[in-house]
Amino acid sequence: MPISLPDLESAIRAAIPVTHLEIIDQSSGCGENYAIVVVSEAFAGKTTLARHRFINELLKNEIAQMHAFSQKTLTPKQWEDQLAKGSA
């Protein structure tokens, strides 16, 4: 069953408040490959590892079907800082 982007998005939005969300389909001939950027206040106070584990758990079933998956998890403040620096 192919991964549905709307499903990925709604799973994330249902679990945490989302300030900004990007799901980039980087699939090529090699298989399903997704990169996500999640900006949420829910990440405040959590180490990067904890944030990633959280997302891994949330999207466990979908990730298991993907060939590759990468994620950037930021708090709204970190996101703004990044935009200000011009590096997205």
Q: Which residues bind another protein (CB under 8 A)?
A: 48-49, 52-53, 56, 60, 63-64, 68-72, 87
SS3 13: helix
CB of 71 to another protein, least distance (A): 6
Question: Which contiguous run of DSSP H or E holds residue 34?
Answer: strand 33-39
CB of 54 to another protein, least distance (A): 12
CB of 52 to another protein, least distance (A): 6
User: DSSP alpha helices (H): ranges in the chain?
Assistant: 5-15, 48-58, 60-65, 76-85
Q: By C-beta, is 64 or 84 nearer to another protein?
A: 64
